[in-house]
Amino acid sequence: QKEVEQDPGPLSVPEGAIVSLNCTYSNSAFQYFMWYRQYSRKGPELLMYTYSSGNKEDGRFTAQVDKSSKYISLFIRDSQPSDSATYLCAMSERGYQKVTFGTGTKLQVIP
Calculate ∠ Cα 36-48-31, nearest 5°. Answer: 95
Q: Which one among 25, 30, 36, 109 touches other proteins, defined by CB under 8 A? A: 36
Q: Which one among 19, 104, 107, 109 touches other proteins, defined by CB under 8 A? A: 104
Q: How far is the CB of 26 from other proteins (least distance, A)?
A: 15
Residues in the chain: 111
Q: How far is the CB of 48 from other proteins (least distance, A)?
A: 10
Closer CB to other proteins, residue 68 or residue 97? 97
With a CB cutoff of 8 Å and minimum separation 6, the contacts of 107 are 9, 10, 11, 12, 13, 19, 21, 79, 83, 84, 85, 86, 87
Give the three-state DSSP class for 81: helix
CA distance 19 to 13: 8
Residues of this chain, 44-103, that bind other proteins according to CB under 8 A: 44-46, 49, 51, 88, 90, 92, 95-103
- The footprint of other proteins (CB under 8 A) covers 4, 6, 8, 32, 34, 36, 41-46, 49, 51, 88, 90, 92, 95-104
